[in-house]
Amino acid sequence: MLTLEERPVPEPGQGEARVRMLATPVNPSDLLFVRGLYSGVEARFPAPAGFEGVGVVDALGPGAGNLAPGQRVSVVNGQGGNWADYAVVPAGDLIPVAADVPDEQAASMVVNPASAVLMLRHVLAVPRGQWLLQSAAGSQIGRMMIRLAQRDGVRTINVVRRRESVAELQALGADAVIVAADGPIDEQVREIAGPEGVRYAVDPVAGATGTQMFKALHEEGRMLVYGSLTGEPILVGDDPRYTLAGRRVVEVFWLGYWLPRLDRAARDKLTAALADLVREGVLETEPGRRYPLADITSAVTQAESTGKQGKVLLTPEA
């Protein structure tokens, strides 16, 4: 259960900074965490929530680096705690934000944008002209993947549940959009990409959707699973045609694994690329409704509503 508590303003320790939060999104990973279902971070309840956001540096602990009070920063909080007026985080996890990046973009500048860039360009390294298959294509990260793939010359096949999403995604630059209810996803994919299937896929849904996407893979295809919206398993062994021939690979992608393993130069290069792509609108997050922290229940209800528009934000001073 989510509750709002009054606590003393936290003090930063060695190498830490205290940030006065301006806005923080309600992401699927946040909701998995508060339900005790997020495997990436062990929650010992009661626990603070919120993995990203934007704020202003309020105070610095000893050895906090080159930050300055009053500096606006994107806040990556690996242990959760950004759904608050103030958050204390390692200073190295703060990303200075340029003045021309608005708060609603800076608040969501890491989790979805960094995942999109790392999956498409680094982990899968999808070549120009290849097909990328993705599910939950109408989500914020799904829309980012469409725009980023189009920019990089990658063709996309996009799986949606709502027929109303087809025209929207085509207008964004989607090469093909299929509705899951129209038939097995793998059969629809092969009608578009050819009988051999696709070499690259990303899936945050799992369950029957992920299983059918696995069957849509080329015999040397790779699929990254970066979520489990259904909470159900992907069945890769229910049909021997797909497990006894070829070299199909299903991998987990977790941003919390990848980011800490980037050295400082690679991380700086990534954050600079993210800022540029946000400015260009490629990795833009559609802003949704804003809620004060005291109305967290309404914010979560809106974030989980079907067909919602934009990313729900919590703003301490809303």
Asked whether the beta carbons of 77 and 30 are under 8 A apart, the reply is: no
Do the domain assignments include residue 5? Answer: no
Which residues contact residue 11 at a Cβ distance below 8 angstroms, ignoring those fewer than 6 apart? 18, 59, 61, 88
**pTM summary value:** 0.90
Same domain, 38 and 82: yes
75 versus 244: which is more confidently predicted? 75
Same domain, 83 and 181: no
Do the domain assignments include residue 277? Answer: no
Q: Where are the alpha helices (DSSP H) in 35-164?
A: 103-106, 111-117, 140-151
Do the domain assignments include residue 54? Answer: yes
Same domain, 305 and 249: no
Domain count for the chain: 2
Domain with residue 211: its CATH number is 3.40.50.720
Under the banding of pLDDT at 50, 70 and 90, the label for residue 307 is: low
Over residues 37-47, the pLDDT tens digits come to 777 677 677 78
Do the domain assignments include residue 274? Answer: no
* Structure token pair of residue 227: 């979520």
Same domain, 188 and 220: yes
Q: How far apart are CA 165 and CA 138, in angstroms?
A: 7
Over residues 156-214, the pLDDT tens digits come to 999 999 999 999 999 999 999 999 999 999 999 999 999 999 999 999 999 999 999 99
Question: Residue 203 CB: number of other CB atoms within 10 A?
Answer: 27
3-state secondary structure 149-200: HHHCCCEEEEEECCCCHHHHHHHHCCCEEEEHHHCCHHHHHHHHHCCCCEEE
Measured at the CA of 143, the angle between CA 293 and CA 146, to 5 degrees, comes to 155
Same domain, 84 and 185: no
* DSSP state at residue 261: G
Do the domain assignments include residue 267? Answer: no
Domain span at 187: 114-256
Between the CA of residue 246 and those of 61, 65, 66, 172, 222, what are the distances in Å?
54, 50, 51, 34, 11
Do the domain assignments include residue 58? Answer: yes
Position 103 scores a pLDDT of: 94
Same domain, 213 and 303: no
* Structure token pair of residue 152: 């990089």
